[in-house]
Amino acid sequence: MGHENGRVGAGELLLTSMDRDGTRDGFELVITRAITDAVDIPVIASGGVGTLQHLADGVTEGGADAVLAASIFHFGEYTVGEAKAFMADQGITMRL
């Protein structure tokens, strides 16, 4: 399925583990890695972020090209600036 997405014109793949969404337990890294290894288009990991380390893990362990989080920002635990600074400190390249 993943290979088909790129062939039919998908520019990126938004991967959300509904089992993890809202749990704040982190991304489903095994599935994320399997998908990122199987497709030739950028993958955005989504679902389950509870800490800034989870964001970094999505890239470093899951192989995602980008990560998405909501509740950690909505509830004021972290700012987007703090998340970007943390990711940069982990050696992850991004627009600051």
Q: What is the CATH number of the domain that holds 48?
A: 3.40.50.12600
34-93 pLDDT, tens digit each: 999 999 999 999 999 999 999 999 999 999 999 999 999 999 999 999 999 999 999 999
Tell which residue, 35, 36, 32, has the closest CA to residue 55.
32
74 vs 2, which has greater pLDDT?
74
What pLDDT is recorded for position 71?
A: 92
Domain range for residue 34? 2-89
How far from 31 is each of 58, 79, 84, 91, CA to CA, in Å?
11, 27, 24, 23
Q: Is 94 part of any domain?
A: no
- Tokens standing for residue 19: 């089992």
Residue 38: partners with Cβ closer than 8 Å, 6 or more residues away? 2, 3
Q: What's the rounded Cα separation, in Å, for the pair 27 and 50?
A: 9
Full-model pTM: 0.87
Looking at the structure of the chain, the number of domains it has is 1
Q: Is 51 part of any domain?
A: yes
CA 63 vs. chain centroid, Å, equals 9
Place of tokens 């362990």: 61
